[in-house]
Structure 1
C-alpha cells in the first residue's frame, strides 16, 4: 500500500543553518536549547552601554579621557621615578652603612679634653673644657634616664625605622601655625636623627679647618632642606647598622647638657655629684630637660627654671607609663637639687687663674682629661666673698660702680682664695686680682724700708720730715708732699712708715739707692717695670694684687721670695702618677731674717697705731700697709697675721677717682672682715717680729754711729748726705708739685 502523503518531516537545521553548515551529523537537542546561545546578544548590549557611559561622545567625554591619560602618565612616571629614588637611597644608605664604625668608637667625640679641679681637701670645686664622665650604656645607666629621654624626645623611638613622617608633619604644622618656616623651630627629629646630627653626619672636627669647635657644631646643626635629607639618610643607615639601644647609647654619651658637660654621666657628676646610674626620677627629668636648650635650662644658671622644666618632663613620663602617679607626685614634691660644688660654684676666679697659669697643653688647649689638685680652701674663699659682700652692702653708697678684689694666701705663696670682683659667681670674667695692673701707692713703702733694714739700719733711726725738693734731669724740680700737707719734723723710720709719710720714704730710698730698692722689690716678686725716678719710693709703679700679696708673704716668711701658686698636682684621668707637681712656693732669700722681722715690727705699728687701724683684729697680731695713689684712683690694704696674708684693692675699672676712700678706709675694712672670718676657730699665735736693737742714727744730722758721719771720709759723706736730705726741722707747708703716688692716713 502506498503512502498517499509523500511529504517529508521538516528539519529545523535546514531552517537555521546554511548548506555550508550541514556537516554536523545530527543536531544536538541540548545545544539548541542552551540558555547562553539565547543570551548571546546581551553582552553586546552591555558593551555598547559601557561605551556610552564613558562619554564616548561630546566635550565632557573628551576631557575625561584627557584627564585619565594624564593620570596614567603621572602614575607611570611616579612609580618609575620612585623606583629610581628608592634605589638611589638604598645605595646611599648602603654606602653610609659601610663607613659607620663600631659603636664604641662613637661614644666620646670631643675635640678637646676636660679639666677637673680639686680643692686642697681633694673635693671637686670647678670644671673647665668639655667634661666627659665616662662611657655609659643602656644597661649601666639608670632606667629613669632612658625613660626620661624617650618620653621627652621620641616616644615612638622603639617603633620607627629612624625617621618619623608623623613627627615631621606635626613639626611642620606647628612651625607654620607659629608663623615660621616649615623647617624653622620644631624639627620633628627622632633620637636617631639627633644622634646623626651629634655625629655631624660622620664628618669629624678638624682643628686645622680654620673653624672653631663652636662654629663646627653650629654648622652641623644647620636646618636646611639639603641637610635634613642627608640627616634622614644617615639615620636610616644607623638603624641598619646599630640596634636601638646602641643608638640610644651614642645619644646619651654625646649630648651636650650645659656647663661643659658632654653626656649624661658628666652632667650627672657636674650637677648632682653622683653617677648617672644612681639618679632619681626628678634628677633624670632635670637632665632630660636640658636637651632642648642646655644653656637656658642649666641648673647652674637658673635652678628654678630647670626645676620647672623637669616638672614638665615628669608629667610626660607619667602619661607614657614610665612613672606611677605616686612616683610622679614624689618627683614633683621633691625636685632635684644641685650638689654643693655645683651650687656654690666656688672659686670661679680661682679656677680661671689656675687655667691661665698652668701649662697650656694641659689646661686651656688640652685634648686629654686632666685632674688638677689645687691650694684652694673653700672655707676661706667663702669668707672672702662674704666679707666683700658685707662691706659693699653696708658701707658703700648704693649704686656705686667701684670694684674690689681680694687675695688670701699662706706665707709660702699657696693661694687659698681669690675674689676678682664684686660679682663672685662668674666664669671667664675679668679678674682684677690677677689681670689689673694698678699703681701701688704707699703699699710699696715696706720694700724701701726693707732695703734699708737689710743694710743694717734700725727702725729707730731718724729722718726729718720737712719740705723737700729735687731737681730731676729732664723734668725739673720735683717736690713731693704728704697726704695731710703737714710735716712732722724729725721722726723715726718706724713712725714714718706707721704714718705713711712721703718725704722720709723718698729720703730713705735716695740714701740706700733706688737701684737697691728696685732690686729688693723685684726679687720679692714685683715683676712689672718699676719707676726709674725718685717717685719709685711712693709707689708710682704698677703691679697686680696677687704680686703685691705674694711680695708681702715673702716678708712674713722671713725675707725669702715667694711665687704665688695654686696648682699642687696634675695628672690624667685614670692615671695614678702625677705628670707635674707644685710650681711655686718659697724661693731665694731677698733680705736677712733680722731685717724681715724688724720690718714686721714696723708694719705691726701701722695696724695697731697708724694709718691701718681699721684693720685691727681681735686677739690676733696683724701687720700691714695702706696705699692710696694720686687722686685716689687706687686704694690698697695688704697685711698678714702669723697664719695668712691677704691683699685688698679697690678702685674703678676706668680709673675714675674714688670719692673719700683711702687705703686705710674701705680696703682696710674689707681686709678686717675677711681676716676675722678666715681666723674663726684658730688659736691666736704671735707674729714673727723683732724689736729694734743696736745704735740709732739721725740720718739728717745729729750723733753719728759707725754707719755714717764722723770725721775724715765719713764726715765728708755725712756732709754730702746732709746737703741732700737737709738738716733742719722747718715745718713749712711748701712744695709746688703733687707727688707721684700719695701717702694715706
Structure 2
C-alpha cells in the first residue's frame, strides 16, 4: 500500500518531507509523452510491404513480449472503463495523488483492515517510467514512495489524462512475459485490443493487480470489477471462461513463444533485421499480394513434384525500372526439411542460364551475329587438365545452326565454341560486372563456364536478366526503404546487343527445336525467358522478363540431392509462367491481342509485338541462308555487321590455328611411364600445308615406328623439360599461330632411361 505511512507521521513532519522532496524534484528528468512513445520498443520486429501492410512479424526480444504501441482510441471502451473502475475511480478528478484514497488507506491501516491501496494510475505510470521506482523483489522505500507521488503530480501537470491512460496501457505488465495491452490481447484473447468485450476487459484488469494469481482468484477479481461497473450478470461462468483463456495463454507460451502476426516473408525479414538490429519497423519493397501468390504457386507446383524428389524452391520478382524487389520467397516452407535456408541468396550451379550473357558479349565484340552459323557437333577441347567433351542435354547434335537457334534452343556445343572465341577470362569479367561476385577466376572455370559451372544466387541471376531487360543498364536491386531511391545506372552491356538477345529469348519459333512451340515458356504477353539445369539435375532455373518485371525461379533440393527427371522447363518454368501471368493479369484481361490462338501467335514474328524500343545502331535486315540451312527471315544486326546472304565457311576459309597443345598447358613428366607413351602430338586445323617451329627450330619427330600416323600438320614430339613456344608457319615462313606451354621434368627412373609424360589426359564430361 502506497503512502499509508504518511498518515502515521505527525502532520508537520509530513509537510516538511514534501517540501524537501519538491525541492529535489527539479532535478528529476521526467520524459515527455512523445519521448516515451519514441523510446518504446516492441519485442517483435515488423516488416511492412510497400503499401504499409504488415507482412511479417519476427521476435527479437526473448525476455518480454511487447507488440506495437496502441493508441487510446484503438483500445476497447470496455477495457478503459474496467481499468478506471478497478484501479482508480477518481482518475479524472485528482491531480496525480488521490488524497481521499490516501486517507481511506491510512484509516484502514490504522485498524488493520484490508483496503485497496492509494496508488493511482498516474502513480503506477510513474513507477513504470522511472527506473528507480520500478517494483523490485522488496517493497519501495519511504523516499521512493514520496518521489513516486511527486512524479505523478508532475505528470498530471505536463501530460493530458488521455496520454497518461494510453502510456499506462502500453507499459503495464500483465502475466508472464506479456507487457502492454496489445500483447495480452493478441496472445491471450487472440484479438486486437479494440475488440475486447466486457468479460475479457475485466479479466485483463484483474491480471494487472495479480499477474501470478490463480485462475480462481483472477475470476473473483474480474467479477468484482464487473459488479463495480454495475454488470453483475456477466459474472456467470467467469471462472470457466478464465480457465479457457489461461489454457490458451499457456499453450502459446509453450510453442516457441508464438508470434501471432503474419509470417509471409521470413527470409527477407531475417536479412533486413540483421542488417538493422536497432530498427523494429521496416518498410520493404515487397508487394504483399504478389508475395502471397508467388509463395502459394511455388508450394502448389512443388507438391505436384513430390514423387520426383523435389522439395525446395525460391521465387524472386524485380520491377525492371525501379529495381524494387516485389516478391522474395526463399523456400517452400513446410514442404522443405531446410526451410530456414534462403533459396534466393543460396549459391547454386547456374546451368544454361549464363548463355545469354555469353552470346551478348560475342555480339557486342562483333565476333558473331544472331545470324552466324555455329556447328553443333561433337567436340573435344584440350585443356591443361585434360580433354573437355561437352554434350547437349538430349545427347543429340543438330549440326549447323544459327546463333539465334543455338541460344533459344539452349544448345551446349555452340555455346562452348562461342566461349572458345570469347575466352573464359573475358566472359568471367563480364559476369563480375553484372554483379555475380564469382569466387574463382575465369581460367578456374574454363570452357565449362559457358554451361554454367559457376555457383550463383537467384538474386544475382535475376538482377542480371533485369539488366538485359534494361538494355545493358545495371543497378543493384532495392529491398527496403533503407536503400536509395535514385541510383545512376552503370552501362555494362551494349544496348543493341542486349536488345538482340532479348529478341532471341522471346522467339518461340527459334526455341521450338528443343522446347516446341507450346511449353511453359510460352506466355500470353511478350516475355524473354531462359531455362537452365545443372549437372545431375541438382538445380533447375527459369528466369525471364516482360516489359515491366523480371521473374526468377529456382527449384531443387537445399541438400544438393538430385531431382528425378526434372528439367528447367518442367520444374521451374510452370511456376515462372504462373507468376508472370499473375503480374500481368490486368493487362491480359484488357488485351484484345491475347484472344488470338497461341499457335497463330507463335507463327508471327515475335519482334513485331516486342514492346522494347529499338536502340540506335541496330538494323533489321532480310537474310537468306545458303542451301536453305534455315528459313529466310528478317534478322537484327549491329550496324556494320549486317549481311543478306549467310554462307557456310569451307575448310580453306577457316583461320589456321594450333589445336594442341593449348596455350598455357602444363605437362608433367612421369619417370615410371615408358617414353614412347609420353609423347605430345602437335595438331593444327584450318590449313593444308604448314610447318612447325618449336623454340625457333623444327621439332624432332618421333621414331620410325610412330611416323605412319604423322603428317606435316600432326607430329609426335618427345617432351623436353622447360618452357616452350610452338609456332605454326606457312611455306613462306609467315606466322599463322603460336602457343606457349611448359613441360616439367622428373627424376630418371632406374628402369626407364627417359622421363617424359604426355599421357592422354583424363576426359571431363558435362
Closer/same/farther in 2, CA of residues 247 and 507 from structure 1, 3 Å limit: same
Indicate yes or no: 2:229 matched with 1:321. yes
CA distance in 1, matches of 2:495, 2:221: 66
CA distance in 2, matches of 1:463, 1:286: 78
Any conservation in 1 of the 2:76–2:196 contact (CA below 8 Å)? Answer: no
**Residue number in structure 2 paired with 1:634:** 539
CA distance in 1, matches of 2:388, 2:361: 23
**Residue number in structure 2 paired with 1:73:** none
CA distance in 1, matches of 2:179, 2:267: 23
| Structural mapping, 1:223-238, within 5 Å | 227-229=137-139, 238=148
Indicate yes or no: 2:412 matched with 1:502. yes
Indicate yes or no: 2:328 matched with 1:418. yes
Indicate yes or no: 2:587 matched with 1:682. yes
Residue 461 of structure 1 is aligned with which of 348, 372, 375?
Answer: 372
**Residue number in structure 2 paired with 1:102:** 30
Note the C-alpha offset of 1:682: 1.1
**Residue number in structure 1 paired with 2:489:** 587
Bigger shift: residues 528-537 or 345-354: 345-354
| Structural mapping, 1:156-555, within 5 Å | 201-202=131-132, 227-229=137-139, 238=148, 241-242=151-152, 250-255=167-172, 279-282=194-197, 285=200, 318=226, 321=229, 346-355=264-273, 363-366=276-279, 372=283, 374-397=284-307, 402-412=311-321, 413-423=323-333, 430=340, 432-456=342-366, 457-473=368-384, 475-529=385-439, 532=442, 533-555=446-468
Indicate yes or no: 2:623 matched with 1:623. no
CA distance in 1, matches of 2:29, 2:303: 59
Largest Rg, 1 or 2: 1
Closer/same/farther in 2, CA of residues 284 and 386 from structure 1, 3 Å limit: farther
Partner-residue secondary structure (3-state), 1:646: strand
Residue 599 of structure 1 is aligned with which of 480, 485, 501?
Answer: 501
> TM-score, normalization: structure 1?
0.58
**Residue number in structure 1 paired with 2:577:** 672
Any conservation in 2 of the 1:152–1:288 contact (CA below 8 Å)? Answer: no
Indicate yes or no: 2:661 matched with 1:695. no
CA distance in 1, matches of 2:88, 2:563: 59
> TM-score, normalization: structure 2?
0.57
C-alpha distance after superposition, 1:318-354 (max 9, x if no partner):
465376869999xx9xx9xxxxxx9655444444455
Note the C-alpha offset of 1:230: 5.9
C-alpha distance after superposition, 1:583-628 (max 9, x if no partner):
65x7222222221122112212479624496423452233211111
Bigger shift: residues 658-667 or 279-288: 279-288
Closer/same/farther in 2, CA of residues 313 and 553 from structure 1, 3 Å limit: farther
Note the C-alpha offset of 1:702: 1.2
Closer/same/farther in 2, CA of residues 719 and 104 from structure 1, 3 Å limit: closer
Note the C-alpha offset of 1:552: 0.5
Any conservation in 2 of the 1:480–1:737 contact (CA below 8 Å)? Answer: no
Indicate yes or no: 2:473 matched with 1:560. yes
C-alpha distance after superposition, 1:520-557 (max 9, x if no partner):
22222222325522221111111111111110011112
Partner-residue secondary structure (3-state), 2:506: helix
Closer/same/farther in 2, CA of residues 109 and 200 from structure 1, 3 Å limit: farther
Closer/same/farther in 2, CA of residues 639 and 430 from structure 1, 3 Å limit: same
CA distance in 1, matches of 2:575, 2:221: 46
CA distance in 1, matches of 2:424, 2:202: 62
Closer/same/farther in 2, CA of residues 446 and 484 from structure 1, 3 Å limit: same
Partner-residue secondary structure (3-state), 2:436: coil
**Residue number in structure 2 paired with 1:64:** none
C-alpha distance after superposition, 1:131-155 (max 9, x if no partner):
8866967x99664333455789999
Residue 651 of structure 1 is aligned with which of 556, 559, 567?
Answer: 556
Note the C-alpha offset of 1:375: 3.2
CA distance in 2, matches of 1:350, 1:290: 38
The alignment covers a number of residue pairs equal to: 545
Any conservation in 1 of the 2:524–2:581 contact (CA below 8 Å)? Answer: no
Note the C-alpha offset of 1:287: 12
C-alpha distance after superposition, 1:258-305 (max 9, x if no partner):
9x9985589999999x997xx344499489869979xxxxxxxxxxxx
Any conservation in 1 of the 2:506–2:528 contact (CA below 8 Å)? Answer: yes
**Residue number in structure 2 paired with 1:170:** none
Any conservation in 2 of the 1:381–1:417 contact (CA below 8 Å)? Answer: yes
CA distance in 1, matches of 2:686, 2:201: 76
CA distance in 1, matches of 2:219, 2:405: 67
Any conservation in 2 of the 1:153–1:190 contact (CA below 8 Å)? Answer: yes
CA distance in 2, matches of 1:346, 1:193: 41
Closer/same/farther in 2, CA of residues 290 and 434 from structure 1, 3 Å limit: farther
Note the C-alpha offset of 1:414: 2.2
CA distance in 2, matches of 1:292, 1:429: 38
Any conservation in 2 of the 1:462–1:493 contact (CA below 8 Å)? Answer: yes
Partner-residue secondary structure (3-state), 1:563: coil
Please list every run of 5 or more consecutive structure 1 residues that lacks an aligned counterpart in the other structure. 1-81, 165-188, 204-219, 294-309, 336-341, 571-579, 728-734
Closer/same/farther in 2, CA of residues 719 and 434 from structure 1, 3 Å limit: closer
**Residue number in structure 2 paired with 1:174:** none
CA distance in 2, matches of 1:405, 1:623: 20
Structure with bigger strand share is: 2
CA distance in 2, matches of 1:124, 1:228: 41
Closer/same/farther in 2, CA of residues 724 and 315 from structure 1, 3 Å limit: farther
CA distance in 1, matches of 2:329, 2:71: 37
Closer/same/farther in 2, CA of residues 719 and 477 from structure 1, 3 Å limit: closer
Higher RCO, 1 vs 2 (CA within 8 Å, ≥6 residues apart): 1
**Residue number in structure 2 paired with 1:305:** none
Note the C-alpha offset of 1:404: 0.8
Any conservation in 1 of the 2:126–2:152 contact (CA below 8 Å)? Answer: no
Closer/same/farther in 2, CA of residues 109 and 563 from structure 1, 3 Å limit: closer
Please list every run of 5 or more consecutive structure 2 residues that lacks an aligned counterpart in the other structure. 1-7, 92-97, 106-118, 209-217, 246-259, 592-608, 615-619, 621-634, 663-682, 688-760
Structure with bigger helix share is: 1
